[in-house]
Structure 1
Amino acid sequence: MSELLFETIENLGSFIQKKELSPVELTQLSLARIQQHNAELTAFITVMEEEAINQAKQLEDELQSGKIRGPLHGIPIAVKDLLQTEGVRTTGGSKIFQDWIPDQDAASVQKLKEAGAIIIGKANLHEFAMGATTENPHYGITKNPWNVTKIPGGSSGGSAVATAVGMAFGAVGTDTAGSIRLPAAMCGTAGIKPTYGLVSREGCLPFSWSLDHVGPMTRTIKDAAIMLDAMKGYDPNDPASVKHDGSVVFEKSLPDLQGVKLGFCEPYMFAGITKSVKVVIEKAFRQLEALGAEIVPINLPGIDRALDGLRMIAQAEVISFHEPLLKKHGDDYGDDLKYRFQFGRDISATVYINAQRTRNEFIRTTLQKMYGIDALVGPTNVQPPYDIGSMVKEQAISNMFTLGKTPLANILGFPALSVACGFTEDRLPVGLQLIGKPFGDKRILEIADCYERSERWVQALKENANELYVNSEVKEKAMFP
């Protein structure tokens, strides 16, 4: 049965619907996996064992009576502990909310439950989602399963790790400047930040109202499409929510990428990239071209000003939420957050408004530049994962910008995903990023799926996840035969 831990949601859903697999059995497998590895990896803050088994039994009864909710029926999913879960504590990765038990689910969690997903637990994160390392001072440091001395990326580090090692078959993450895509890349999995407003943020503790997104993290692109299809939808309780019909699930995969045009902004995408990561990305580019895609140079004027604007917007909005909490619980925050809050207080209304104007102008010019182009392409992470404990608080504010090229899609609000594309010579994962046009979520998922199926990175994850760590040390094992 253990081989099922790395099966796809797509296949597991078929097994369950044919009654070849029980939701209870599958949930017990996930819980056993968590018990086996969570003490070392710290992927979860709260494991919802009793709640998950009860959900599984209910879904098992429905299955026996002929009711099938869809492809997620009976599938264990992890939820980042930034999203509310009814009757189960939601900490935000903070000491401040260590005893808070919400009386309702976040909108995306509710939608997943309605679709038949089983919530297996609350995944660890960088405190209040304000960092790229998931070194949580209150609930423990989440470790990268490919090398437990390295960070998994953040802020949705626990969600990525839980998915990568078979503790869950997918997870919910949040993304303000890359917090879904960066840990997905660094843990060898997939993750999509949907178009701004496509998935409700209701019931999610905010970082930046203008930039926050909620989205799925999975092992395959098709599984990400299945989860996103269940999570999306208009919500009047989220002011940013939009009415947009149409499924993101694709029944048939693209046979090739003939006719696909991808824009590559080299001055931005390759700035700060290490040689080891660049080698992997350039190989992925060659594979995209071999599949038929055309990669063309693209200029994105105003990109530096726009990204500076993102910093201003994020820091101003986050302090507006935390200011009341700081007055009562200032000493309970981690050191890196205390340092970051200093910047938000100094941002004037004029600076904030001008940043939003810059953002709007950048969106308009980027859409013009993307005419005739399906998506932008580039690396997700430009550096391998840092050593745990190597970052000082003064550097925390810039980690997301240093580690990867994810913030661009947040200031734009365009859909963006990361798909595994290989490993450095130190056997650390690298992610390929696609940024689509507004509501082009399905299109970038199709392109990424075609690329993913042409490589064997998903298979490598399955082959190696069980063998990569023993007694907190990476095994000296060849990645590929």
Structure 2
Amino acid sequence: MVIMMSDNNFAYMDIQQLSKLMKNLEVSPVEIVQTFLDRIDEHDSKINSFISVFSQESLKEAKRIEKLFLDKEIVSPLQGIPVGLKDLIYTKNQLTTGGSKILKDYIPDYDATVTSKLRESNAIILGKTALLEFAMGGTMTNEYFGSTYNPWNLDHFPGGSSSGSGAAVAAGLVTCALGTDTGGSVRGPAHNSGIVGLKPTFGRVSRHGVIPLSWSLDHVGPMTRTVKDCILLLNAIEGYDDTDPYSVSMDPINIDINGNFDLQGKTIGIFTAFTEDILSKDVEINIQRMLDSFKSLGVKIVEIGLDQLSKSEAQQGPILYDIIVGPESSAYHYTNMKENIDSYGSHPRRRLEAGLHVMGHQYVNAQRQKRLITEKIKSFFNQCDVIIAPANFMAAPKLDDSNPSEDPIRNALRRSFTSMFNITGLPSLIVPIGFDAQGLPIGCQIVANHYQENTIFKFALEFEKISDWNHHYSTVDEYLSAS
């Protein structure tokens, strides 16, 4: 079920709308923050999207920023905007748990780089969002903090590992949020929860002060309700950071979010050979509608065939992912594993122990293969501007369906949809494209070459104009009140 946003409900307004109201002194940042705090208090006991809510701190910050608006001192489009942070991201003198019993009382003494950038933008950090323990996916529950529930239907999973960020944005409990993405952990929740989610080019956004899962695959990315909001949030957090050894100096995002972009003659590449007999009928229908929408704008569609990327190569994404992530995560957790192994949940423990058994030559060969696949996929952009790829073969699964598919080939291809773009470091944006027969949202990836987020955004902004999916929201108020 969906509901169209009412004009007076700024819990569902985008960043530009809220910013305009605050600039015109029609609404105070204090009112906005209080609205979200009230909504969290009313609804989050059933969604479980926040681990920590900074009520006093966010109201105090809102009062400080209210004075700035009164004095006409505006430093960024995010000024006064409530933001949620996945609870892997350090917040100075505020709880950061990693979604784990092990860090249930941990208070960092410094901010992550992205946290500092948000504070410099005068965004208001509303709280820390829920996640699977230490961002280790593969299950749908956090054994210590509990499951997070999809606001479209509480029987379904909102996606992970950035479960709370996706659910909170979808439910109108916060305007926007940050997640992390190592194999699809921003894009999966965006798909399942009907929002926009970006995995930027590897190195564009600093991971300093973010609890790692995999140093060579981790990304921090925005999770928002609109493409415009995604751009504004990315603008605030991107940039070279010498405290992150993988950070890359690159041109900042520079795009007019209110502009018009002529896509006539542009080209989209699709991997139809990998999705045959894999996608659900609902996903297939909605992706075709998306492609038809782009065709109406004069965009050409070309197929990237099996002669260019074999099915076995497509399946290598999750295999390489496991070989790389396993030892990197085990290396980070090694001391805790020796001293406190029983404090990990059962799934993270199994993954960490498995990581200890990856041989050195396997890890080195995986890193070499990662580079070869990256160069091959980058070559596809010689024939297309962007690639359109599914986010998953189905909409959000039920929470009690711990393994939606027992077919290992099907599961490998499903994971390839997102993990392949972590392996390659290519930027990938999820946009909502429709719903399945049960009313659950479906998203799709728009992927471009390294550093070409501007290209992705042009396609996404034009698609957003001719579709109305970003104006549909879960009937969270009615649904939760009745549940």
SS of the aligned residue for 1:214 comes to: strand
Kept in 2, the 8 Å contact 1:222–1:249? The answer is no
1:299-350 CA-to-partner distances (Å, cap 9, x unmatched) read 4523333442222111121111112111122111111112222321221110
Kept in 2, the 8 Å contact 1:248–1:441? The answer is no
Return the alpha-carbon distance in structure 2 between the equivalents of residues 161 and 347 of structure 1: 34
Match status 1:445 vs 2:457: yes
TM-score for both structures, normalised by structure 2: 0.93
SS of the aligned residue for 2:201 comes to: coil
Match status 1:390 vs 2:390: no
Q: CA offset at residue 382 of structure 1?
A: 1.3
Kept in 2, the 8 Å contact 1:132–1:179? The answer is no
SS of the aligned residue for 1:206 comes to: coil
Kept in 1, the 8 Å contact 2:222–2:233? The answer is yes
What pairs with 1:351-366 in structure 2 (closer than 5 Å)? 351-366=362-377
Q: CA offset at residue 471 of structure 1?
A: 4.2
Match status 1:421 vs 2:433: yes
Match of 1:51 in 2: 57
What pairs with 1:219-258 in structure 2 (closer than 5 Å)? 219-258=225-264
Return the alpha-carbon distance in structure 2 between the equivalents of residues 258 and 414 of structure 1: 24
Match status 1:163 vs 2:174: no
Return the alpha-carbon distance in structure 1 between the equivalents of residues 59 and 412 of structure 2: 37
Q: Give, as a single letter, the amino acid of the residue that structure 1 aligns with 2:66.
A: E
Match status 1:460 vs 2:476: no
Q: CA offset at residue 271 of structure 1?
A: 6.0
Are the structure 2 counterparts of residues 245 and 255 from structure 1 closer, same or farther at C-alpha, using a change threshold of 3 Å?
Answer: closer
Kept in 2, the 8 Å contact 1:62–1:68? The answer is yes
What pairs with 1:23-422 in structure 2 (closer than 5 Å)? 23-131=29-137, 134-270=140-276, 272-299=278-305, 300-301=308-309, 302-391=313-402, 402=414, 405-422=417-434
Structure 2: gaps spanning 5 or more residues? 1-6
Q: CA offset at residue 291 of structure 1?
A: 2.2
Kept in 2, the 8 Å contact 1:262–1:377? The answer is yes
Kept in 1, the 8 Å contact 2:314–2:413? The answer is no
Are the structure 2 counterparts of residues 402 and 306 from structure 1 closer, same or farther at C-alpha, using a change threshold of 3 Å?
Answer: closer
Return the alpha-carbon distance in structure 1 between the equivalents of residues 214 and 152 of structure 2: 31
The percentage of aligned residue pairs carrying the same residue is 36
Are the structure 2 counterparts of residues 404 and 421 from structure 1 closer, same or farther at C-alpha, using a change threshold of 3 Å?
Answer: farther
Identify the range of structure 1 (249-258 vs 443-452) with the bigger mean alpha-carbon deviation: 249-258
Kept in 1, the 8 Å contact 2:140–2:402? The answer is no
Return the alpha-carbon distance in structure 1 between the equivalents of residues 240 and 471 of structure 2: 36
Are the structure 2 counterparts of residues 134 and 221 from structure 1 closer, same or farther at C-alpha, using a change threshold of 3 Å?
Answer: farther
Q: Give, as a single letter, the amino acid of the residue that structure 2 aligns with 1:450.
A: E
Return the alpha-carbon distance in structure 1 between the equivalents of residues 73 and 63 of structure 2: 13
Match of 2:3 in 1: none
Are the structure 2 counterparts of residues 304 and 402 from structure 1 closer, same or farther at C-alpha, using a change threshold of 3 Å?
Answer: closer
Return the alpha-carbon distance in structure 1 between the equivalents of residues 385 and 89 of structure 2: 32
Match of 2:448 in 1: 436
Identify the range of structure 1 (123-132 vs 332-341) with the bigger mean alpha-carbon deviation: 332-341
Return the alpha-carbon distance in structure 2 between the equivalents of residues 2 and 102 of structure 1: 38
Are the structure 2 counterparts of residues 41 and 156 from structure 1 closer, same or farther at C-alpha, using a change threshold of 3 Å?
Answer: same
Return the alpha-carbon distance in structure 2 between the equivalents of residues 45 and 229 of structure 1: 26
TM-score for both structures, normalised by structure 1: 0.93
Structure 1: gaps spanning 5 or more residues? 473-481
1:32-64 CA-to-partner distances (Å, cap 9, x unmatched) read 111111000000000110111111111112222
SS of the aligned residue for 1:73 comes to: coil
Q: Give, as a single letter, the amino acid of the residue that structure 2 aligns with 1:457.
A: W
Q: Give, as a single letter, the amino acid of the residue that structure 2 aligns with 1:410.
A: N
Are the structure 2 counterparts of residues 400 and 105 from structure 1 closer, same or farther at C-alpha, using a change threshold of 3 Å?
Answer: farther
Kept in 2, the 8 Å contact 1:79–1:122? The answer is yes
Q: Give, as a single letter, the amino acid of the residue that structure 1 aligns with 2:347.
A: D
1:3 maps to which of 9, 15, 25: 9
Q: Give, as a single letter, the amino acid of the residue that structure 1 aligns with 2:108.
A: P
Kept in 2, the 8 Å contact 1:384–1:403? The answer is no
Return the alpha-carbon distance in structure 2 between the equivalents of residues 122 and 308 of structure 1: 31
Return the alpha-carbon distance in structure 2 between the equivalents of residues 314 and 221 of structure 1: 30
1:138-183 CA-to-partner distances (Å, cap 9, x unmatched) read 1121000111011100000100111011111000000000000110
